[in-house]
Amino acid sequence: MSRSRKLTLGAYALLRRGNLARLARALDLPPSVVSAWAHRRRPVPVRHCLAIEQQTAGLVRAETLRPDVSWRRTA
């Protein structure tokens, strides 16, 4: 999948079974918290957005998770 395609966390969860569980382990969080973010029951805290982007190899971008935040990107 191209990195230019922006996925939501929910769409990322559907790509492969276990994605959310693996992400939760990588973030050292309960799977229920990550599931709540993926199903938009709770917003993703800003402090986790860049880690999610890194753990998903850029498939889920910080800008997609929190479009209300001005993300600064350096070249």
pLDDT value at residue 72: 85
pTM value? 0.88
Average pLDDT of the residues in 49-72: 95
Per the structure, the complete domain to which residue 51 belongs is given by: 9-63
Q: What are phi and psi of 66, to 5 degrees?
A: -140, 80
Calpha distance 75→72 (Å, rounded): 10
Question: Is residue 71 assigned to a domain?
Answer: no
Question: Would residue 45 count as lying in a domain?
Answer: yes
- Total domains in the chain come to 1
Question: Is 22 a domain residue?
Answer: yes
Distance (Å, rounded) from C-alpha 39 to C-alpha 5?
20
Look at residue 73 and tell me if it is in a domain.
no
Q: What CATH number is associated with residue 46?
A: 1.10.260
**15 inside domain:** yes
Give the Cα separation of 74 and 30 in Å (integer): 32
46 in Cβ contact with 66 (< 8 Å):
yes
- Check pLDDT > 50 for residue 62: yes
Sign of CA dihedral 8, 11, 13, 16: negative
Give the whole-number percent of the chain exceeding pLDDT 90: 85
Mean pLDDT of the chain: 91
